[in-house]
Amino acid sequence: MKYLKLALLALVAVFATTSCMDDDWKDPNSETSPYGNNSIQETNVVPIAELKKAYEKNDGSVNYAVRIADGTQIKGVVTGNDVEGNIYSQISIQDDSDKPGIIISVAQGGLSGQLQIGQEVLINVGGLYYGAYRSQPQLGVNYHDTSKDQYYPSRISRVDWQNRFKVIGKPDASKIKVQVFSTNPDASKGELNVADLLDADVAYKYAGCLVTLKGVEFAMGDGKTTLAPEDEGKTLGYGVTRYFKGYDKTNKQIGIRTSCYADFAANLVPQGVVDVTGVLSCYKSSAKYNHTVQLALRRFSDIKASESK
């Protein structure tokens, strides 16, 4: 009887191990992601541009939230994440539509470990809210700021988020289309002028997209100033903006915003003429003000010595 019990226990252990390994046997090439919801199927995918057009408000509201119809899906490639701690509790994705980018607010750290740059993803957005926070378009859950009686999209819970997205294939950063704005634009390459971003229609069209600004120079690139010192950022939401020369004045502002908790927050502001790549956002606290254009770096290496002549 003793040996029979031992044999039965061993048999149970074998079956348990086999059961736990079923997904691995079916997926020897690791095609199935351990993150997200692999059971999601494409049923009602709409272009990001179509989603934005359907739910945006054009009444000058800088904070608002509109519920997205149940069953709605979007699909795109991840362009921004928290790989070096700068883009906090957010990812950005874009597709091939005319206004392709969107920022998604998620209450979770370490998103870069699940969704790498260039990763295609399918997302169920039905029941979420499209809107704006300080005029910056984004997706999230509805949040009511009772002190100001304002609504805007805020962070999706970790559990809800994991049920909403499906990873498709392997990351491929070459899929990302980067819009270039240059101080000396080459129209034959589809480049726009950096100054075009002072036009609100242009700036908000590319809000949420990955862009490169070519041939710019930081106004505070003096070899002493750092990107985001905590003492400076503590009164500014622990983020600091460093503007570019010629775009560092009131009502004419373009620069990069860096979290005081980014891995590169203590790095010196680069000197000389540079090319800067980042996720573009636009902010203003009231409809009566002009917009401020900010780029969020994914990595410090998103700043490079300029290739412009």
- Stretch 154-181: mean pLDDT: 97
The string of pLDDT tens digits covering residues 274-287 is 999 999 999 998 99
| pTM of the entire predicted model | 0.88
- Distance between CA 294 and CA 292 in Å, rounded? 6
Nearest to 142 by CA among 191, 192, 105: 105
The string of pLDDT tens digits covering residues 115-157 is 999 999 999 999 999 999 999 999 999 999 999 999 999 999 9
Across all residues in the chain, what is the average pLDDT? 91
- What is the reported pLDDT for 32? 83
Res. 99 pLDDT band, cuts 50 70 90: confident
Q: What is the DSSP string of 222-242?
A: SSS-BS--HHHHTTTTSEEEE
